[in-house]
Structure 1
């Protein structure tokens, strides 16, 4: 794996960070280049498969671009489920107890803010799949962030009854989604955009044709349900470009 890294990415340091919520040990990670101090950065939220090598690789790429990253561990104990029977209850436990879901995100944010490399109030929450839903819900709850990015976020997991009035003024939202994603339908996109507009939040939605859910994930390359999840390299590259531009535009210099 290290042979595939650029020289700058090889210089990036990864440090496990333990924190806790409600008696559960969380094992996040701080990813940054040496010498980084109190810099604006990213709160990265993993997909349904947990904080694994793929998420850490994304964090390395971001840190190499000058954006230090704190990787959250929402499931706790660095749990990395592999099958739907494992994943379903984990997501269900968050969706049915949204206060706990937000508290897990808050715990990660506090842990990020405690790291000397990061400025805790100059962070963008960036999430993939379930992590994208988490980033959006956390921003909506009033988190002190400057923005949120949802990459193939499950809009079906968002609370349809909750407004965005608690979100802090001046925040921005980027949504990168597949046109055919069954977990982020046109109606769900339109409802989110209307809610953001009503709350005076700056937003951008990038919609990719011929693309379904989990399009950035190599795990979806051999999907048994390509009408639901499928890897789409071109859409993944477009989402990465949109994300890095958003970070440049949104985070303080």
Structure 2
């Protein structure tokens, strides 16, 4: 493990100010250009301390990270009354939603710490849905990892997908990623010829990686699961290692 250092990156989309975050390895790992870069897409709570913590852990493992700001102005909604309208607005205007992901991708490409590396998209909850939607509409990346994504948010038109391997990490009891939803997505990925794998965690619902959900008022809908969270992290880091280019 190594140290990590962060810096803010301002970028724009259709007049909205975005404030992303680069988290880059320091020390010996900083010179390893073979490690995959990560475009990390936050969950519904925005660029929270939890998401920054994930970026820091990835950078400490040698992967430079660009943490996207999908909501804009680095908004961090704190309740369902704030989150619902934000997600609803994106689902109703997918061009704007995916335009914001594309703007983050472009901002990432301009950062010297991340340029020229294999690129993986990593998203949690809403961010996982965002990563899959970006792939569905043509993104060409090395890989996409989605942790408890809301499959209920996905469009079903996979007629012009991008490229990249796909890793899905989902609780078997997640009401936002039911067996029929998972089966439908698997059919789309197979039809598109995309390499993919599903990791299913028993006794696990939505948002299982978030300690904020440890005292969930609706554990049948969302709840923290430490064992599943650890398994998902191990799967994610293994996936990133697989995507990383061989050292020259």
- TM bucket, shorter chain: over 0.9
* Deviation string, structure 1 residues 104-142 (Cα, Å, up to 9, x no partner): 000000000100001266210000000000011111111
Match of 1:173 in 2: 166
Match of 1:3 in 2: none
Tell me the TM-score normalised to structure 1 length.
Answer: 0.92
| Aligned 1:28-177 pairs, distance under 5 A | 28-34=20-26, 36=30, 40-119=36-115, 122-160=118-156, 162-163=157-158, 165-168=160-163, 171-177=164-170
In the alignment, the residues of structure 1 paired with residue 117 and residue 64 of structure 2 have an alpha-carbon distance, to the nearest angstrom, of: 13
Specify the SS of the correspondent of 2:38.
strand
List runs of 5+ in structure 1 lacking aligned partners: 1-6
List runs of 5+ in structure 2 lacking aligned partners: none
Query: How far did residue 185 of structure 1 move?
Result: 0.2
Whether 1:228 and 2:224 are equivalent positions in the alignment is no
2:11 corresponds to which of 19, 44, 56: 19
Query: More relative contact order in 1 or in 2 (CA 8 Å, sep 6+)?
Result: 2
- Root-mean-square deviation (Å): 1.4
In the alignment, the residues of structure 2 paired with residue 143 and residue 111 of structure 1 have an alpha-carbon distance, to the nearest angstrom, of: 15
In the alignment, the residues of structure 2 paired with residue 65 and residue 144 of structure 1 have an alpha-carbon distance, to the nearest angstrom, of: 24
Contact 1:122 1:251 in 2 (8 A): yes
Specify the SS of the correspondent of 1:137.
helix
Contact 1:110 1:120 in 2 (8 A): no
Q: Structure 1 residues 166 and 121, CA, compared in 2 at 3 Å: closer, same or farther? A: farther
Structure 1 range deviating more: 90-99 or 37-46: 37-46
In the alignment, the residues of structure 1 paired with residue 181 and residue 222 of structure 2 have an alpha-carbon distance, to the nearest angstrom, of: 18
Q: How many residues align?
A: 242
In the alignment, the residues of structure 1 paired with residue 86 and residue 61 of structure 2 have an alpha-carbon distance, to the nearest angstrom, of: 32
In the alignment, the residues of structure 2 paired with residue 137 and residue 241 of structure 1 have an alpha-carbon distance, to the nearest angstrom, of: 24
In the alignment, the residues of structure 2 paired with residue 136 and residue 121 of structure 1 have an alpha-carbon distance, to the nearest angstrom, of: 20
Tell me the TM-score normalised to structure 2 length.
Answer: 0.94
Runs of 4+ more than 4 Å apart: none
Contact 1:124 1:147 in 2 (8 A): yes
Query: How far did residue 34 of structure 1 move?
Result: 3.1
In the alignment, the residues of structure 2 paired with residue 164 and residue 209 of structure 1 have an alpha-carbon distance, to the nearest angstrom, of: 32
